[in-house]
Amino acid sequence: MELDFSPLIDSWRYLLGGLGITLLLSVLTAAGSLVLGTVLGLGRVYGPAWLRVPIVFYIDTQRAIPVLVILVWFYFAVPILTGISFHPFWAALMALTLHIAAYVAEIVRAGIESIRPGQVRAALALGMSRTQIVRKVVLPQAMVRMLPSFGSVLSITIKDTAIAAVIAVPELMKRAETIAGQSYRPIEVFTTVMVIYFIILFPGSRLIDRLYQRVAHLGRS
Amino acid sequence: MNLDWTIVWQHRWDLAQGAGLTVLLTVLTMLAAVPAGMVLALMRLSRSRILSTASLWFVEFFRNLPLILVVYWAFYVMPVFLHIEFSAFTTGLIALCLNVSAYNAETFRAGINSIRKGQMEAAIAVGMSRWQAMKQIIIPQAWRRVLPVLASTWVSLFKDTSLVSVIAVGELAHVALQIRSSSFRVLEMLTAMAVIYWLMGYPQAKLADWVHKRFEVKE
């Protein structure tokens, strides 16, 4: 078997651009889902009952449908429904954000619910208002416990952006497919891209594992 | 906008077949990935440096790659290395197994590690071998902690099977996308696909929640 890496060397700029788009899409998606997910999570735990039902339904729906289906639906079906069509990048950003926000919401909920109810009761006994309790007692502790999970969200997001290749977002995965198709060198191209993804994702996930160990005792109550 | 929902009904058997294949992929992957994950976890915890490093790298490698890329890689690269041609279905299955085995290995390892060290020491003190202690003391207890995580992995796996559609495995997503491009009934088919996934996935997600509640470990 002869390996020929020249197609990769010839188009390294093209690939690097793809990597840039992957990272940009990941950061924007992670930031967007962090905001939306926190709102949903807080709404689920502290919101009025009529709000909780739709939030739970939304979260469970996102947990039940593959991200591929959401991406494809957003890119192809939404323009038919609304008459507005999006660039693949924006469609991917919205679809991924809506999907990952559901996971963030679950993390927020789990973090809040992990604080023992005795603490809330103690704060009530001290005469604190509900907002005060949430802001000063529950959230500061819950945040510490959520921190490592938020790290995992970024890693999941980077992996999920590769699926955006299906709707032709010109990110790393899509550009790899293009180069592989044009050069008939799928082995070299896909293996190289595999290494690139691994190099980006591995240090992050190690860092998250460390973080889990570091903050595990801080969250204990 | 004119919509023609009869297209979904016309293709009901194709869609049902696709859904069947999705379920089959999920079940077969899990059947292979549970023992594989177990072996990887035991390798990782064994005293042999070679086994534990090999397992560590396998797990870290496949945990840190987008699954869709592993699917492509299995499709293009694996046959060249192994000199065997696989069907698209087998290729997809292998890619899913590699991914889920890595996650399961971490799940089992965490489960085993969650059992206090004193128990292993006590077992050894009463004359059990390490392997006996693992089999009779540690693993039976670790199951309780492992099961909820396996349930979550199951739900993720069910959704991830949609990714093998990129190498033309005829599961639900692939079937629906094919009908979409041949009939041009884009909105109808994509919505039908989402609804079918929802109908199948929603109960599974709820079941996973129930398993979490049922097996919750109270400290």
Find the mean pLDDT for residues B4-20: 88
DSSP B217: P
Task: Let me know: does A19 contact A190? Beta carbons within 8 Å.
Answer: no
Segments of chain A with pLDDT less than 70: 1, 216-221
pLDDT tens digits, residue range A113-128?
888 888 999 999 999 9
Instruction: Take residue A42 and report the two structure tokens written for it.
Output: 């807080």
Instruction: Take residue B211 and report the two structure tokens written for it.
Output: 């398993």
Nearest-CB residue to A201 (from B64, B67, B162): B64
- Whether residue A65 and residue B72 make contact (CB cut-off 8 A), yes or no, is no
Q: Which residues of A touch B198 (CB under 8 A)?
A: 61, 64-65
**B70 Cβ contact partners less than 8 Å away, ≥ 6 residues apart:** A194, B62, B95, B98, B99
Write down the domain spans for chain A. 11-219
Fold classification of A11-219 (topology level): MetI-like fold (1.10.3720)
Instruction: Take residue B145 and report the two structure tokens written for it.
Output: 């902690």
Nearest-CB residue to A202 (from B60, B66, B177): B60
pLDDT tens digits, residue range B119-136?
989 999 999 998 899 889
CA terminus-to-terminus distance, chain A: 59
- Whether residue A173 and residue B191 make contact (CB cut-off 8 A), yes or no, is no
Res. B81: pLDDT tops 90? no
Res. B99: pLDDT tops 70? yes
- Whether residue A69 and residue B173 make contact (CB cut-off 8 A), yes or no, is yes
Res. B86: pLDDT tops 60? yes
Question: What percentage of chain B has pLDDT greater than the value 90?
Answer: 67
CA atoms within 13 A on the CB side of B210: 6
Give me chain B's average pLDDT, please.
91
Which chain B residue has its CA at the smallest distance from A74's CA? B190
What's the confidence (pLDDT) of residue A220? 55
Res. B1: pLDDT tops 70? no
Nearest-CB residue to B73 (from A1, A68, A194): A194
Q: CA-to-CA distance for B134 and A216, rounded, in angstroms? A: 26
The distance from CA B50 to its chain's CA centroid, rounded to whole angstroms, is 26
Task: Let me know: does B141 contact B115? Beta carbons within 8 Å.
Answer: yes
CATH number corresponding to B11-214: 1.10.3720.10
Any A CB within 8 A of B126 CB: no
pLDDT tens digits, residue range B15-67?
999 999 999 999 999 999 999 999 999 999 988 999 999 999 999 999 999 99
Q: Which of B44, B64, B171, B218 is most worth mutating to test chain A (most A CB atoms within 10 A of its CB)?
A: B64
Res. B217: pLDDT tops 80? no
Find the mean pLDDT for residues B153-165: 95
Query: Where residue B218 falls among pLDDT bands split at 50, 70, 90?
Result: low
What's the confidence (pLDDT) of residue A217? 67
Instruction: Take residue B153 and report the two structure tokens written for it.
Output: 């992995």
- Whether residue A73 and residue B191 make contact (CB cut-off 8 A), yes or no, is yes
Query: Where residue B145 falls among pLDDT bands split at 50, 70, 90?
Result: confident
Find the mean pLDDT for residues B156-174: 94
Model pTM score = 0.90
Label each residue of B201-219 as H, E or C: HHHHHHHHHHHHHHCCCCC
- Whether residue A77 and residue B67 make contact (CB cut-off 8 A), yes or no, is no
Q: Which residues of A touch B153 (CB under 8 A)?
A: none
Amino acid at A105: A
Res. B191: pLDDT tops 90? yes
Instruction: Take residue A13 and report the two structure tokens written for it.
Output: 């700029």
What's the confidence (pLDDT) of residue B161? 96
Nearest-CB residue to A193 (from B69, B155, B197): B69
Instruction: Take residue B70 and report the two structure tokens written for it.
Output: 């592993």
Nearest-CB residue to B73 (from A70, A158, A190): A190
Any A CB within 8 A of B72 CB: yes
Taking only Cα atoms into account, the Rg of chain B, rounded to an integer number of angstroms, comes to: 21
Instruction: Take residue B175 and report the two structure tokens written for it.
Output: 């079937």
